[in-house]
Amino acid sequence: MVEVGPWGGRKSRLLASTSNTSNIDEVEEEKRREIHRQNERQRRQKMATLFESLRSVIPNDHLKGRKTIIDHLEEATNYIKDLEKNIKELKEKRDELKQSTEPTSSSRDQLGASSDPTRPNSVVISQIVGGFDIEIRAKDDEYMLSTAIQVAFEEGLHVVSSTSSKLHGRFIHSIQCEVSDVTCVDLKRLEQRLNDLFR
């Protein structure tokens, strides 16, 4: 016959309670581990997708013989640096060409452009290598630069860059355009349409 002392029942209950708590802790820990595994799996999948996107924009000749992710990342970095260098060189060449072919005010007048600085609003069209430079001076900016770009596009010009600045309370919009054949552009009509924006 087993005798149970006055504390025996309480001790059994304490042991059972401790065992239950231990089981609950193990279940919670396993849930945490599973969540961590899922998060890690999703992170790896996202990294793989992003890495594949990066690889897809790098030319194949830059990746020849490259095997590791680090090799690909290094080559992507070098490729981006080469692109930045090329862009800088092209901008410098463009600026040099623009300066060397900047027409005088008399040649602007021959193109049919208005160069009277006393007018409150004016349009100046200058011929440059492979296209035209359009300069619009306005006393206010209610006429959007985008409207002038749309007019140039409709007249067969390909806009390659545009800038806006403010000088002495007047806005100066500059639009650089390319065209395959400058003789196909009706400068009088282009100038008239641009001037009509400011009336």
pLDDT digits (tens, 9 = 90+) for 105-139: 444 444 444 444 455 678 888 888 778 888 888 77
- Averaged pLDDT for residues 58-67: 73
What pLDDT sits at residue 50?
86
| Identity of residue 193 | R
Q: Best-predicted range by mean pLDDT among 17-31, 52-66, 80-94, 173-187?
A: 80-94
- Averaged pLDDT for residues 176-187: 82
| Ramachandran category for residue 65: left, alpha or beta (phi over 0 → left; psi -120 to 50 → alpha) | left
Q: What is the CATH number for 84?
A: 4.10.280
Residue 28, number of CB atoms within 10 A of its CB: 10
Q: Which residue has the higher pLDDT, 192 or 65?
A: 192
**Alpha carbons 73 and 10: distance in angstroms, whole number:** 65
Q: Which residue has the higher pLDDT, 78 or 181?
A: 78
What pLDDT sits at residue 1?
44
- State whether 92 and 109 are in the same domain: no
| Residue 3 located in a structural domain | no
Q: How many domains does the chain have?
A: 2
Q: What is the CATH number for 189?
A: 3.30.70.260
- State whether 130 and 77 are in the same domain: no
pLDDT digits (tens, 9 = 90+) for 34-48: 999 999 999 999 988
Domain of 177, in residue numbers: 105-196
Choose the final residue of a domain: 48, 67, 96.
96
The pTM of the full predicted model, rounded to 2 decimals, is 0.40
- State whether 88 and 126 are in the same domain: no
Q: Which two tokens stand for residue 30?
A: 């396993």
What pLDDT sits at residue 39?
93
- State whether 42 and 121 are in the same domain: no
- State whether 89 and 113 are in the same domain: no
Residue 44, number of CB atoms within 10 A of its CB: 10
Choose the final residue of a domain: 63, 78, 96.
96
